[in-house]
Structure 1
């Protein structure tokens, strides 16, 4: 389940029923003209077919981490061929029981576990220009030498429809995409204002206070990756960079562990 898909008739023919369903629901969210999705770069990327998609399994299984690492590596190596508004959209296949009982906080835990465990499988060193500790304004998530903005949506989000989706979903956007977007003809300040207006119309709750601009002294990227469904926030970032040779067993949420399942 580590294949990169472009949304084309040929690719859709290769998808199973679950994959076709979640992709169709994502499309519905992106093209809705009565309720405009807030992230303008994402809607441009979708309309110009520059997004790429991946489908992986249960976030509580070991094999899913490996599939996510393979997907993100492939995407990183080819992303600049996909266009200036590209992102990788990753859909998790959640068990039906999980959809019924998982809270926003449970998804938050799973999200940060995924990001931490990915670092163990990263074949490249963390970029020297980016600190490993997330408690600095210039920190952002990195994988395979690329800097990324991470976004997570879940079925448990209700007030923040901008963070709601049928299943647990990641939208992974290279930093260079956002930098290019901010250099466009429309000034960044106007874009930020338009995005915030869309969020106000899209969600039934006020904009989360953690939404900010990368590089600002009072901005912390990690706080924006996963927004709760209210105004509460984590006091400390759960991300932990797992280095080669570190005891990964204690990092895993799984009952049984075999390193061969991860590597």
Structure 2
């Protein structure tokens, strides 16, 4: 759709009318669904009635709904397998000037009985993790980790602030938008002034805080912050507690590159020193004849599992052919590790 963005008249003719929300439903690579699931119209109406209220705290969302700058999608049951294709389409559309300010709300089919807050929390993070794990963008492997202030959830190259709303919010009413879980993906462009090309000012964001105090039955959450501010972490704001309890646990989201290394390392650690290590299991590669690594390949596999190679190899071979950690290796290797330790200390100092 990048090539289509060059023609202004073509963009205008393709932009859906604000009167029919169904024309803005994305499912896979399809834009516009005449017959959404039977449960979805009520879920949409509930969200619409809440967000369109002029007192609703997030006026970014109110403006988007009024202007028809909202896309929608849905998840049947707990099947999130189709979300990646939907989000890829959204990312392509968001790259066009006509849709740059658009958000997308993904409605999940309501449960027969509302789930616990923890259950919604877990389902939310499983969904983001799944999207990241199947992200077609090769740059996804090199995104910052969530504990980095620069991290924001990204899919197909599009950075978005993600809000999870669900029925288990009883006091934080601004995060309860209907009978089922709703994920709101807001591209960073939403928070940039179109005229000045600057991030929306702190004054406007402080107004949102003031409106939260009027709308919710609880004070604004202590984890709420502003992107780019020292100490601010975006992931803590995606799924809030219903009480004003700051998140102290580690982010459930794991960069897929680090996840792969951890999985490989765990597999390698579990293998007995004299057990065969299968190449396909450890390296994700085609196993050699017989499917078993030679002692030399075993060491290479162990090093790959830890993300190191060459002079940084932490494992070597014992005389009996078993693997051995370098901490038990000969004194000849000691200067190498000592110098590496000094370099690490100097970098962190």
Q: For residues 207 and 138 of structure 1, what CA distance do their matches in structure 2 show? A: 23
Could you say which residue in structure 2 is the equivalent of 1:230?
243
Shift of residue 66 of structure 1?
A: 1.8
Q: For residues 183 and 237 of structure 1, what CA distance do their matches in structure 2 show? A: 34
Q: What is the 5 A alignment of 1:181-196? A: 183=196, 188-196=201-209
| Secondary structure at the counterpart of residue 250 of structure 2 | coil
Could you say which residue in structure 1 is the equivalent of 2:7?
none
Could you say which residue in structure 2 is the equivalent of 1:20?
41
- The structure 1 residue matched to 2:108, chosen from 74, 82, 92, is 92
Shift of residue 234 of structure 1?
A: 4.2
| Secondary structure at the counterpart of residue 44 of structure 2 | helix
- The answer to whether residue 228 in structure 2 is matched with residue 215 in structure 1 is yes
- The answer to whether residue 150 in structure 2 is matched with residue 135 in structure 1 is no
| Secondary structure at the counterpart of residue 65 of structure 1 | coil
Q: What's the CA shift string for 1:68-107, capped at 9, x where partnerless?
A: 111111100012444443101000013313x1xx211211
- Decide whether the 8 Å contact of 1:44 with 1:85 is kept in 2: no
Shift of residue 244 of structure 1?
A: 11
Residues matched between the structures, number: 235
- Decide whether the 8 Å contact of 1:6 with 1:52 is kept in 2: no
Could you say which residue in structure 2 is the equivalent of 1:42?
61
TM-score of the two chains, using structure 2 as the length reference = 0.61
Q: 1:145 to 1:13 in 2, by over 3 A?
A: closer
Q: Which runs of 5+ in 1 are unaligned?
A: 248-263
Could you say which residue in structure 1 is the equivalent of 2:118?
105
Could you say which residue in structure 1 is the equivalent of 2:340?
none
- Decide whether the 8 Å contact of 1:42 with 1:85 is kept in 2: no
TM-score of the two chains, using structure 1 as the length reference = 0.80
Could you say which residue in structure 1 is the equivalent of 2:302?
none
- The structure 2 residue matched to 1:73, chosen from 88, 92, 95, is 88
Q: 1:120 to 1:182 in 2, by over 3 A?
A: farther
Q: For residues 54 and 143 of structure 1, what CA distance do their matches in structure 2 show? A: 16
- Decide whether the 8 Å contact of 1:119 with 1:243 is kept in 2: no
The root-mean-square deviation of aligned C-alpha atoms, in Å, is: 2.9
Shift of residue 139 of structure 1?
A: 0.8
Q: Which runs of 5+ in 2 are unaligned?
A: 1-15, 24-32, 264-349
Shift of residue 183 of structure 1?
A: 4.8
- Decide whether the 8 Å contact of 2:101 with 2:189 is kept in 1: no
Shift of residue 181 of structure 1?
A: 6.5
Could you say which residue in structure 2 is the equivalent of 1:259?
none
Q: For residues 70 and 213 of structure 2, what CA distance do their matches in structure 1 show? A: 25
Could you say which residue in structure 1 is the equivalent of 2:133?
120
Shift of residue 65 of structure 1?
A: 2.4
Q: What is the 5 A alignment of 1:126-205? A: 126=139, 130-131=143-144, 133-165=145-177, 166-180=179-193, 183=196, 188-205=201-218
